[in-house]
Amino acid sequence: MTTSTGPGLLHNPVLNRGSAFSEADRARLGIEGLLPPVADTLQTQIARVHLQLENLDNDLQKYLLLSDLQARNETLYYAVLQSDPATFMPLVYTPTVGEACQKFDHVLRATRGLYLPITAKGRLKEVISNWPETDVRFIVVTDGERILGLGDLGVNGMGIPVGKLALYTVCAGVPPELTLPITLDVGTNNPALLEDPLYLGLRQNRVRGAEYDAFIEEFVTTINEMFPKCCIQWEDFANINAVPILERYKDRTCTYNDDIQGTAAVALAGIYGALRISKGKLTDQTFLFLGGGSAATGIAELISEAMVLEGATIDEARARTWLFDVNGLMVKSRTDVADFQKPFAHDHAPVGVFVDAIEQLRPTTIIGVSTVPKLFNQAVIEAMSRINERPVIFPYSNPTSRSECTAEEAYKWSKGQAIFASGSPFPPVTLGDRTFVPGQGNNVYIFPAMGMAVLATEATRVTEDMFIVAAKAVAELVTQEELDKGLIYPPQHDIRAAELHVAVKIAERIYENGLARVARPDDLAAHIAALAYQPAYPAV
């Protein structure tokens, strides 16, 4: 049992200062002699963690060291991450979190968050009551069925909610005590997990249908009752559940799906950034998606709604977007088109090869959300480059191993003409005397800012136009110098300032839409900045 005095204090991650307890505090709190005699500063502790990380051989080991740090000294954890966000975000989230989730049950040390198995159906309030905080404002929840591009990982997917919420805090300053990662365990259809003696989830196939829907309903109802100001972010649900869940609850509670709406917003931000380079109009662009799931349709619909704001009708806007999946171009004559895909299934002859679809449709932008690597091959990039002076190439699938192409391939095969952004990070690319800095279309530009805006306004809903506002706010932060290097997203080294800018823009829209539960402050930017968490040891 952890306490606020004595040895237990050193096992309380919220209050523990580790070697930074002063000599006077050690005597007062009953921990004298339990630590080396010299008291550190927080900055010295940060430097020590940096050194420890430098001595590790691979990113998974670094992920585990940081996870251990979060479990024993939360303040130091966030101070380390905030000391160099651009370096640490790929370690605590994509791409490293993908490997961590795949090996989760083999490398588990300390647990974090709540696990809600379907065997607890009917008792969720009792189980959730075990969480020590009574004012939860943000929940990231997954059922582990579609973790990044890695598929069904069951409860091993908990790394995703944990990592996402860490970025809420690091990037936008959402106080960590207001966040709660949750995994809903409804089973897994992954035979390797079911046969693994170390797997920690329910050993049963996934529950479907009415029983699953009732479990989700109990979860949402319970969260709304226990945490009435909470925003629920759905994460890495399979398409068959992600789309219906969002439709069912988006008008009932404060909620959104980051894979659908956050991905859409960051893609739209990239498009706005690309248009600053190509000097084109949004309503003149044609988009071809490789992948036809909820991420593709979410991006396509947000692009369409953004086009409507620029004068197009919704039908005109949707007609400029095409989907291509494992069965080829999505056309009206196909019999396997789901309801959520139908707005983007158009009259056209069937096309079974992606490069042929490019030649026939002549898109200005291709967006990869297929989770299948290397499908943007040389023929694809060269075709886009023949058709467009500045082809827009967005391989957004995560993690890096699933990217449709690399930055080097896109720049090389397009002879430096591609406007490129990817889902996972790639290093700069030099071609001749030119160096290109690839952008990362990471949802981290969107969801932490959305969280801070919701926190500052106590918003009752999250709406589609809030994501369009966020996308524009991200794009306007890119300088001309950065555009000249091919960068269409703001650099991540100063992500906190970028997120707070975006949060202010979203909050303004929340107030305009009458969705806030608190009065608008005279200085909204100052109000949001004052709310932002800064790592500092709490009084004990």
164 catalytically annotated: yes
Cβ–Cβ under 8 Å, residues 519 and 483 = no
State how far the Cα of 426 lies from the Cα of 428, in Å rounded to an integer.
Answer: 7
State how far the Cα of 375 lies from the Cα of 277, in Å rounded to an integer.
Answer: 25
281 catalytically annotated: no
Of 63, 77, 93, 272, which is the active-site residue?
Answer: 93
State how far the Cα of 138 lies from the Cα of 166, in Å rounded to an integer.
Answer: 11
Q: Which residues contact 61 (CB under 8 A, 6 or more apart)?
A: none
Strands annotated E in 218-316:
231-234, 255-257, 287-290
Of 77, 164, 249, 411, which is the active-site residue?
Answer: 164
Q: Over the range 531-540, which residues count as b (16 or more CB within 10 Å of their CB) and which as e?
A: bbbebebeeb
Neighbouring CB atoms inside 10 A of 1's CB total 5
State how far the Cα of 205 lies from the Cα of 348, in Å rounded to an integer.
Answer: 39
Find residue 322's DSSP bridge partners: 288
Cβ–Cβ under 8 Å, residues 526 and 2 = no
Phi, psi (rounded to 5 degrees) for 321:
-125, 135
Cβ–Cβ under 8 Å, residues 449 and 172 = yes
> The tokens of 448 are what?
């932490």
Q: Which residues are known to be catalytic? A: 93, 164
